[in-house]
Structure 1
Amino acid sequence: MEIFTTLTLELRDGIAIVTLNDAPRRNALSRCMVGELFAAIDQSRALGARALVIAANGPTFCAGANIDDLRDGWMERADPRTDPALLFRRLVEDDRVVVAAVQGPAVGGGFELTLSCDLVIAEEGAWFALPEVTRGVIPNTGLALLPRVVGTRQALQLVLTARRVSAVEALQRGLVNEVVGKGTSLERAIALARAIVGSAPPGALIAAKRHLHAHAGPDWKRVVNSVTDVPRAEWQEGLDAFTEKRKTDFEPLWQDHQCRMGRVEQSS
């Protein structure tokens, strides 16, 4: 097993298991973790892994982007080596089967991480949510990938309301492939990956993934750039409120927006 700062990498019977291992921070996607995920994916390929399983330690699968990194202007000056959207693209375009083993909440970027995997095994009690808009941010990868799974209207509802989706509902909506008992998602994900690579040749699996994504491929340039479309004042208020453990106050921003719209209408 190779141990990184925020995750571990293990090869088991040709299956690479990447385990998020920053439980005190609820496995939040920090700059460090994103960079190490890129490195672990590269290392798994060097080890000859035929499939990839993404798992997590602790009660939370992944709580989304690290707030400190976001407050530090991560969205405004993203480094390709630590850009979550590019990590998600890497997983989508990996020619191997990628399976997520979700043992707890998958929130924001954690939900997007599962959307970037080919198959998802979720444990009872796990749940999914995209709360970004309530913090003045957008789930840029989720906006690209979620409609392909649940349709446009359902995707908009999940994004705009930020409501939680239980594992059972996620199964009904096609967001996960199976719901299993507590403590069993990792072994089930490994068994599923092993069954797939054990019953099909590599060329067929690669071609199947490549053409499936080509038929409904997202505009990754838009995904990467779209996060900057939200005004700084909005996400600054959202992140400040989260850090200060208070309710957001977007009313001044709405009033300013309405004033600007009024000026535009008068000048047109």
Structure 2
Amino acid sequence: MNESKVLYERRGNLALLTLNDPGRRNALSREIVRGLSGALDKASNEGVRAVVIAGSGPAFCAGANIDDLRDGWMESPHPDEDPAVMFKRIAEFDRPVVAAVHGAAVGGGMELTLACDLVVAAESAWFFMPELGHGVIPNTGLALLSRVVGLRRASELILTRRRVSAEESLDIGLVNRVVHGDKVVDAALSLAEQIVESVPPGALKAAKLNLHAHAAIDWNRVLKSPLDVPKQEWKEGLTAFNEKRAPEYGRFWEDTKHQIKGANLDS
């Protein structure tokens, strides 16, 4: 029997959810998305006070599963397997959700941290949104990153696709705390417990509700935005990644020049 790709563990009043596909560096797959959504349902039904999300193995989460993306995941995902739906569920969960990040938080892994309320990072943690280089977009990151670090910095991180260390992530507000690597889960659990040990559930829920209301996100736009990317571009980007070669985007830029020239002639 295959081991679950998302482990669920009660720690007193808290639930610890652990991404459990270390061989693929916990890349977001259909199975992991379903597992996280189911774990949140279980946490809600059990009445836990807060949730901590961590990862097993050398990385927190290395982004989306490329095989699933190339298989049409971007075009028509089932709601139970749509990462953006899962991120929305985390963001709107009525209890605090804390990410415990070690190693890489790449692409969808970084988006997962953005959907959480708070982030505790190990000194080894690093964050990276490489999507544009693969011909796709970080649709949830486009919506959430700017409200965390500001529009200018969000634009830089998404457009330049540079890696951000744990130290810099703390400086820019991407994470809340940085701790020694072997302490990250315990530190996240401690932070979650500190939040919920002396506040009532109704006030906590109201605080989260209004924090998100004042920084409203157009989730319908998030869900639809992958379709804004031309299919031939993301097909080339993901195929190149799979084949371990540089993508050939030059023809798409040439097509754009021809379209502009044609439009000028028609005017």
| TM-score class normalised by the smaller sequence | over 0.9
1:265 deviates by 2.4
Alignment of 1:55-94 (within 5 A): 55-94=54-93
Q: Distance in 2 between matches of 1:239 and 1:111?
A: 19
1:157 deviates by 0.5
Task: State the match for 1:207 in structure 2.
Answer: 206
Question: Helix, strand or coil: the match of 2:61?
Answer: coil
Question: Helix, strand or coil: the match of 2:73?
Answer: coil
Task: State the match for 1:227 in structure 2.
Answer: 226
Task: State the match for 1:188 in structure 2.
Answer: 187
Q: Distance in 2 between matches of 1:265 and 1:173?
A: 44
1:5 deviates by 2.3
Task: State the match for 1:14 in structure 2.
Answer: 13
Contact map agreement 1:4 1:36 (CA 8 A) in 2: no
Q: Distance in 1 between matches of 2:46 and 2:215?
A: 30
Question: Helix, strand or coil: the match of 1:11?
Answer: strand
Cα deviation per residue 1:61-94 (whole Å; 9 max; x = unaligned)? Answer: 0011100000001111111110000100000000
Task: State the match for 2:37 in structure 1.
Answer: 38
Q: Distance in 1 between matches of 2:11 and 2:32?
A: 22
1:44 deviates by 1.2
Task: State the match for 1:246 in structure 2.
Answer: 245
Task: State the match for 1:98 in structure 2.
Answer: 97
Question: Helix, strand or coil: the match of 2:72?
Answer: coil
Task: State the match for 2:115 in structure 1.
Answer: 116
Task: State the match for 2:262 in structure 1.
Answer: 263
TM-score by length of 2: 0.98
1:4 deviates by 5.6
Cα deviation per residue 1:14-70 (whole Å; 9 max; x = unaligned)? Answer: 100000000001101001110111111101112221100000001110011100000
Q: Distance in 2 between matches of 1:183 and 1:255?
A: 50
1:7 deviates by 1.4
Q: How many residues align?
A: 266
Task: State the match for 2:164 in structure 1.
Answer: 165
Task: State the match for 1:23 in structure 2.
Answer: 22
Q: Distance in 2 between matches of 1:165 and 1:219?
A: 26
Q: Distance in 1 between matches of 2:124 and 2:193?
A: 25
Q: Which amino acid aligns with 2:157?
A: L
Q: Which amino acid aligns with 1:85?
A: A
Cα deviation per residue 1:183-202 (whole Å; 9 max; x = unaligned)? Answer: 11100000111111102111
Q: Which amino acid aligns with 1:82?
A: E
Contact map agreement 1:76 1:228 (CA 8 A) in 2: yes
* Identical residues among aligned pairs (%): 56
In structure 1, stretches of 5+ residues that fail to align are none
Deviates more, 1:85-94 or 1:252-261: 252-261
1:248 deviates by 1.2
1:222 deviates by 0.2
Cα deviation per residue 1:232-251 (whole Å; 9 max; x = unaligned)? Answer: 11111110111000111111
Q: Distance in 1 between matches of 2:263 and 2:25?
A: 44
In structure 2, stretches of 5+ residues that fail to align are none
Q: Distance in 1 between matches of 2:247 and 2:198?
A: 52
Q: Which amino acid aligns with 2:21?
A: D
TM-score by length of 1: 0.97
Q: Distance in 1 between matches of 2:260 and 2:25?
A: 40
Q: Which amino acid aligns with 1:232?
A: K
**CA RMSD, aligned part only?**
1.0
Task: State the match for 1:131 in structure 2.
Answer: 130
